[in-house]
């Protein structure tokens, strides 16, 4: 066979058909796109919590003295702390209960000038209020905190005069007042109280006392104002009730100098002792039980 190899058509036809069928079945291969990686959702940044403002603290409130005399002063100091606000930007308010007196100065350290001619003895509560103004949630706000200190108030001269006059013009020279009630203003810590009680008891037995006066009274206080001497002219009017008394049934009066002592205890004044110095014209034996306290000879 010349011109190359030849195949009969009945052989080539099936081969051609098979090739076409294979190509159709396989088709053309195309490139596959990769699956995209999802972008992560960002975590939101949390809103910062504003710092919490804490109230100021009054650590202590002190007074320079636990007692004050009328028309005198005590120094007051408040010890204050605040975590956020400078102390000089806080507001300080002072008040007294009962209302009275005057605060001198401003801020955490002031003086309180005590009032005059008020009820005595008494206790004044001196209060410090500290106010802090701040902003919370965009709105104005404030804290206020308070602390108090008690101060004992005395008008010593007036207190001493009151109990001295009461004893010598009201209690002792009134026959209807019992001996126990007559010495109610004497301190139990003074032994002279019991001697005075005995004298008043004998006065009630032997005399019907009618009245008593006390004039030209002077009061001498020691510097710390814990004791005092009182002196003045006194006169007592009575009627002897003991038949053995030569003056029995007669209205009589006796005059002299009455001296008292007073002591300051438990924040108030008490009498401690009583003495009477008569004139040379009245025998001492005629003064016994007619006058309060220990009888002193005129020469002493």
DSSP state at residue 108: T
Query: Given this model, what pLDDT does residue 44 score?
Result: 77
Q: CB within 8 A of 188, min separation 6: which ones?
A: none
Give the DSSP per-residue string, 151-192.
EEEE-HHHHHHHHHHHIIIIITT-TTS-HHHHTTTB-TT-TH
Q: CB within 8 A of 103, min separation 6: which ones?
A: 94, 96, 110, 111, 112, 113
Query: Given this model, what pLDDT does residue 1 score?
Result: 42
How far is 142 from 93, CA to CA, in rounded Å?
14
Q: Which conformational region is residue 107 in: left (phi greater than 0), alpha (psi within -120 to 50 degrees), or beta?
A: left
Query: Given this model, what pLDDT does residue 31 score?
Result: 54
pLDDT in single tens digits along all 300 residues of the chain: 444 545 455 544 555 444 444 445 445 445 556 677 777 777 777 776 767 889 999 999 999 999 999 999 999 999 999 999 999 999 999 999 999 999 999 999 999 999 999 999 999 999 999 999 999 888 999 999 999 999 999 999 999 999 999 999 999 999 999 999 999 999 999 999 999 999 999 999 999 999 999 999 999 999 999 999 999 999 999 999 999 888 888 999 999 999 999 999 999 999 999 999 987 666 777 788 889 988 887 765
How far is 168 from 293, CA to CA, in rounded Å?
11
Query: Given this model, what pLDDT does residue 2 score?
Result: 45
How far is 235 from 244, CA to CA, in rounded Å?
23
50 by DSSP, 3-state: which? coil
Query: Given this model, what pLDDT does residue 23 score?
Result: 47
Query: Given this model, what pLDDT does residue 86 score?
Result: 94
What order of strands is seen across the sheet that includes strand 57-63?
Answer: 57-63, 73-81, 109-113, 102-104
Query: Given this model, what pLDDT does residue 10 score?
Result: 52
**Which alpha helices (DSSP H) does the chain contain, by range?**
9-26, 156-166, 179-182, 192-206
238 contacts 252 by C-beta, under 8 angstroms = yes
Q: CB within 8 A of 268, min separation 6: which ones?
A: 121, 154, 159
């Amino acid at each position: 066979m010349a011109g190359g190899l030849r195949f009969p058509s009945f052989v080539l036809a099936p081969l051609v058909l098979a090739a076409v069928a294979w190509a159709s079945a396989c088709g053309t291969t195309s490139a596959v796109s990769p699956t995209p990686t999802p972008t992560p959702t960002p975590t939101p940044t949390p809103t910062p919590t504003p710092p919490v403002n804490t109230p100021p603290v009054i650590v202590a409130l002190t007074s320079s003295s636990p007692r004050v005399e009328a028309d005198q002063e005590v120094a007051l100091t408040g010890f204050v702390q605040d975590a956020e606000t400078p102390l000089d930007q806080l507001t300080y308010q002072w008040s007294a209960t009962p209302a009275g007196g005057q605060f001198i100065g401003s801020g955490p350290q002031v003086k309180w000038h005590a009032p005059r001619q008020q009820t005595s003895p008494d206790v004044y509560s001196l209060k410090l209020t500290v106010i802090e103004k701040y902003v919370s949630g965009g709105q104005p706000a404030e804290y206020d905190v308070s602390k108090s200190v008690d101060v004992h108030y005395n008008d010593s001269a007036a207190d001493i005069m009151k109990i001295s006059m009461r004893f010598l013009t009201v209690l002792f020279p009134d026959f209807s007042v019992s001996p126990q009630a007559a010495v109610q203003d004497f301190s139990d810590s003074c032994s002279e109280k019991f001697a005075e009680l005995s004298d008043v008891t004998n006065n009630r037995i032997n005399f019907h006392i009618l009245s008593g006066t006390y004039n030209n009274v002077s009061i001498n206080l020691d510097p710390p104002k814990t004791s005092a001497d009182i002196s003045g002219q006194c006169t007592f009017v009575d009627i002897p009730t003991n038949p053995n008394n030569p003056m029995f049934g007669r209205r009589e009066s006796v005059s002299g100098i009455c001296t008292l002592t007073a002591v300051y205890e438990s924040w108030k004044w008490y009498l401690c002792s009583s003495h009477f110095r008569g004139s040379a014209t009245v025998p001492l034996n005629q003064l016994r039980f007619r006058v309060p306290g220990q009888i002193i000879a005129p020469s002493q």
